[in-house]
Amino acid sequence: MTLRWRLTLFYTALLAALLLMVGVTTLYLMRTSLLNTLDNELLGEYSRFANTSTSISLSACDSSNAETTPLSDASLTARYQFPNSNLQVEQLLFYTHPELVEALGGVNRAATLATLRRVEDFSRRSLGFDCAFPVKLTDDQLTELIRSSGGRLYLNYPRRDSFNAQPVMVRLLVVLAPVRQATSALPGDEESVLSLVFVGRPVDDLATTLNQLRSVIILLFLAGLVIAGTGAFLLAGQALQPLRLVQRAAEKIGGQTLAQRVPVPATGDEVQSLAQALNGMLGRLEASFEAQRRFTSDASHELRTPVTAISGHASYLLRRTSPTGQQQESLNIIRSESERLTNLIASLLELARSDSGALVMQKAPILSTLFLSELARELGPLAQAQHTTIQVMGQDVAFEGDPDRLKQVIINLVSNALKAGSTTITLQSQAVLDGAQVRLSVRDDGPGIPKDQLERLFDRFYRLEDSRSRDQGGAGLGLSIARGIVDAHGGRIWLESTVGEGTAVHVQLPVGDLPDLDDEDVP
């Protein structure tokens, strides 16, 4: 995964966590605020009821058949005064509040609760609540109410009635307090009776509001994620753009392009420092490579003269004198080693020119099969001497290249196959990439090369441990020179090998800009 995507996912996930936390907190605070508002309204309704309880009359519930008696005029007045609330009053005729608290604290808690249940059943009056399904508290809720300091209890209660099969959730305020009740029709004839007062109101509107708020929060959460992800992706791309420019420039720099430098963005950040550090490193590498190339070139030139002199004097002594057998053998060794040093010096000069970019290409149109056939005829005597067969196959492809340089490459590859003891060498050509490039292959049936050594074969002076080139003058520079020539053509070279089955070396080159070819134009 790229750094851009990692940054995008990180910031999107971070924002998602923040939005989720904000959304959950907002929903919780809104729910708490709405419940507090509803609780305050219920408390206000109870206060109004407590202040007017002597002038209203609630419908008495008959516990035997759970039916409500016809509403009196006073009941209609009560319904008019409390249109949005459900009221239920249960008179505790035989108890005072201190007595209840003392009874619940003793050993007769169960008996006290049972007595309260019987009192409730015979003294229930209701407005709005269905008498067939009265509000009933559990023992724990009733105990909590009695022991509360203010004698109040708020709870959510699933209320049922005769018209709805499913319970309807209501917010319920339960108050344990004296309620003034008129004892006769005479004014001022009233008494206070300890009662349970239930004030309820449906929470449908509150639930609807919370659901709408939840939907809005989810919508904003998703939209925020999309916007944040897109913004983070674009911002990360813009922030990493200078780094990508530095990367692309660095990828184009090779051994022959060390004079180039990566662009230094004026961002004033770590990317600018990185570009400056890369340019400093490239400068040091360029100086080092230049010193190495200059040393190789100068040393090769300096060594050529004495080596040529040694070889010439050895040949002169062999021709003009009459050395003994042992002396003749020594002179042949001197001449052979001098020739090997001459070839090594020529290879080093070739590499120096390749490193400095001074490898001049004389490109001309080439027909691949004709080119390979000429090489097969030229190398035929050498192959026959080792009982090796060279064959040419494949399609004829016209391309542009330097015939002499490419001939040097193919001869080097065939020589390596002969040194490996191959009995059959196949030169093959084919068009690849829809005819945009040509591939020249040299295949042999030699012993093969281990996979861990394939790429190292292009390193200078590297030879296989069991290489026979040590006995035949090889210095480990042939493939390095071949790669330099192929790179100068804008192509690539690689090896494929299986131990015990053989090796294939592929040279893939661009076709180039070819003119209309006549037979006489083909080399």
Structure-token pair, residue 436: 């945009």
| Pick from 234-238, 253-257, 258-262: least confident | 253-257
Q: What is the pLDDT of residues 147-177, one digit of tens each?
A: 887 889 999 888 877 666 678 888 999 998 8
What single-letter DSSP state applies at residue 357?
T
For residues 340 and 334, what is the distance between their CA atoms, to the nearest angstrom? 10
Distance of CA 303 to the CA centre of its chain: 57
Q: Are strands 424-432 and 389-394 parallel, antiparallel or unpaired?
A: parallel
Is residue 520 very low, low, confident or very high in pLDDT (cuts 50, 70, 90)?
very low
Q: What is the mean pLDDT of the chain?
A: 77
What pLDDT shows up at residue 522? 43
Q: What is the pLDDT of residues 480-498, one digit of tens each?
A: 778 888 888 888 888 888 8
Angle between helical axes of 109-122 and 139-147 (0-180°, round to 10): 100
What pLDDT shows up at residue 203? 86
- Tell me the average pLDDT across 124-150: 78
CA angle centred on 471, ends 324 and 390, rounded to 5°: 115
- Tell me the average pLDDT across 319-325: 80
What are the distances in angstroms from CA 4 to CA 1, 11, 143, 244, 258?
8, 11, 62, 11, 29
Structure-token pair, residue 423: 């009995």
What pLDDT shows up at residue 309? 81
CA atoms within 13 A on the CB side of 281: 9
Where is pLDDT greater, at 320 or 443? Answer: 443
- Dihedral angle, C-alpha 431, 433, 435, 437, nearest 10 °: -70
CA distance between the termini of the chain: 51
Helices and strands per DSSP (H, E), number in the chain = 11, 14
Where is pLDDT greater, at 363 or 468? Answer: 363
Strand-pairing partners, residue 492, are 508
**pTM of this structure:** 0.49
What single-letter DSSP state applies at residue 128?
B
What single-letter DSSP state applies at residue 472?
G
- Tell me the average pLDDT across 467-490: 68
Q: What is the pLDDT of residues 361-420, one digit of tens each?
A: 778 888 989 999 998 888 888 888 888 889 999 888 899 988 888 888 898 889 888 888
Task: Report whether pLDDT(121) > 70.
Answer: no
What pLDDT shows up at residue 75? 45
Where is pLDDT greater, at 407 or 472? Answer: 407
Domains of the chain (ranges, CATH numbers): 56-202 (no CATH), 270-355 (1.10.287.130), 364-521 (3.30.565.10)
Task: Report whether pLDDT(118) > 70.
Answer: no
**DSSP letters spanning 390-431:** EEEEE---EEEE-HHHHHHHHHHHHHHHHHTT-SEEEEEEEE
For residues 217 and 483, what is the distance between their CA atoms, to the nearest angstrom? 64
What pLDDT shows up at residue 8? 85
Percent of the chain clearing pLDDT 90 (strictly above): 11
Where is pLDDT greater, at 173 or 117? Answer: 173
Structure-token pair, residue 198: 């239930």
Query: What are the strands, taking DSSP E only, across 92-233?
Result: 124-127, 152-159, 168-182, 190-202
For residues 310 and 205, what is the distance between their CA atoms, to the nearest angstrom? 110
Q: Find, among 304, 412, 306, 291, the residue nearest to 348 by Cα.
A: 304
Is residue 65 very low, low, confident or very high in pLDDT (cuts 50, 70, 90)?
very low
- Tell me the average pLDDT across 17-28: 91
**Element holding 520 (H helix, E strand):** none
Contact 514, 398 (CB under 8 A): yes
Residues 6+ apart with CB under 8 A from 100: 92, 112, 116, 146, 176, 194
